[in-house]
């Protein structure tokens, strides 16, 4: 077991869950939270170091003595590959033993616009020579439950995925995969395509939402440009809106469906059914 594991993006949704999973699986492990704003990670129960993707000068001290670095992809779409390269270079300089990166399902061949940054980061990791574990994460169910309040207020779900199927899993499922692979160096050099055990379409998601709420909530499929325009109107940055519309468009062609069940084998249990995550999200509204 590595003696020191550092997790970037520790105050984010996936980062928090990853640290919690690491603590559950290996309470004796040396876990370090890396955060742009350390005060935001004070409640994680582990030591915290300042680390900012956009300020490379913060990285040498943050990575000192780290055996395994969990690089959770940045959510800044302006220059994600550049930010990731700064972290990778700092990891090499600090003598980090292995890097674990949260990538995208079939990143090297995926037609999704979102895949380009992940493929670029994977290439940078390979070029660095660092032993690595690539976790190519499929869609989070929370990507779909995050808009439930708006959908319920409007009386409909919208998107551009047609009857395309999403093999989603919960963020907690993907966080468990981080913990499993970070704690065992036998996963060095491995690439894992991760997704939920089962898949669903957005019409099926809408049907389950209708069942849980007792209301008829249809799924309205829209042309991608119309969908992106609506998302922009809701306040999303244009680059994010277009990325989401493209993701739906590619999902309609099977880009986010995977039946390998690699994730459930890795974490030693079935992945969380989308209906369970949906019910939890509804209960929290």
pLDDT value at 83 more than 80: yes
Give yes or no for a contact between 163 and 196, defined as CB atoms under 8 angstroms apart.
no
The phi, psi pair for 211, rounded to 5°, reads: -65, -45
Give the pLDDT of residue 159: 98
Domain segments of the chain as ranges: 4-137+170-194+259-267
pTM over 0.95: yes
pLDDT value at 2 more than 90: no
The arithmetic mean of pLDDT across residues 112-129, rounded, is 97
The phi, psi pair for 235, rounded to 5°, reads: 110, 0
Give the pLDDT of residue 112: 98
Cβ-based neighbour number of residue 232 at 10 Å: 16
Give the pLDDT of residue 86: 96
The C-alpha atoms of residue 264 and residue 271 are separated, in whole angstroms, by 6
Give the pLDDT of residue 111: 97
Q: What is the dihedral of CA 74, 281, 16, 228, to 10 degrees?
A: 0
Query: Which CATH architecture describes the domain 4-137+170-194+259-267?
Result: 3-Layer(aba) Sandwich (3.40)
The arithmetic mean of pLDDT across residues 68-92, rounded, is 94
pLDDT value at 1 more than 90: no
- Mean pLDDT for the chain? 97
Strands 30-35 and 4-7, bridge-based pairing: parallel
């Amino acid at each position: 077991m590595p003696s020191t594991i550092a997790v970037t993006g520790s105050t984010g949704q996936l980062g928090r869950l990853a640290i919690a999973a690491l603590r559950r699986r290996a309470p004796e492990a040396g876990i370090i939270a890396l955060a742009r704003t350390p005060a935001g990670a004070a409640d994680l129960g582990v030591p915290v170091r300042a680390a900012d993707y956009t300020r490379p000068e913060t990285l040498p001290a943050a990575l000192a003595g780290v055996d395994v670095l969990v690089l959770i992809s940045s959510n800044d779409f302006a220059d994600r590959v550049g930010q990731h390269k700064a972290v990778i270079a700092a990891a090499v300089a600090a003598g980090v033993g292995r890097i674990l990166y949260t990538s995208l399902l079939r990143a090297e061949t995926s037609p999704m616009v979102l895949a380009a940054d992940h493929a670029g980061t994977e290439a940078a990791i390979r070029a660095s020579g660092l032993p690595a574990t690539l976790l190519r994460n499929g869609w989070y169910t929370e990507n779909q439950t995050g808009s439930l309040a708006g959908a319920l207020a409007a009386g409909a779900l919208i998107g551009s995925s047609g009857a395309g199927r999403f093999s989603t899993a919960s963020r907690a499922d993907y966080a468990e995969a981080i913990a499993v692979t970070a704690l065992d160096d036998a996963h060095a050099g491995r690439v894992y395509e991760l997704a939920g055990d089962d898949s669903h379409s957005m019409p099926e998601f809408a049907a389950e939402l209708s069942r849980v709420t007792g209301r008829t909530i249809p799924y309205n499929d829209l042309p991608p440009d119309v969908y992106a325009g609506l998302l922009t109107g809701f306040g999303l940055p244009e680059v994010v809106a277009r990325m989401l519309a493209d993701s739906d468009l590619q999902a309609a062609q099977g880009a986010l469906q995977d039946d390998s069940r690699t994730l459930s084998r890795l974490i030693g249990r079935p992945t969380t059914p989308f209906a369970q995550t949906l019910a939890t999200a509804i209960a929290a509204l």
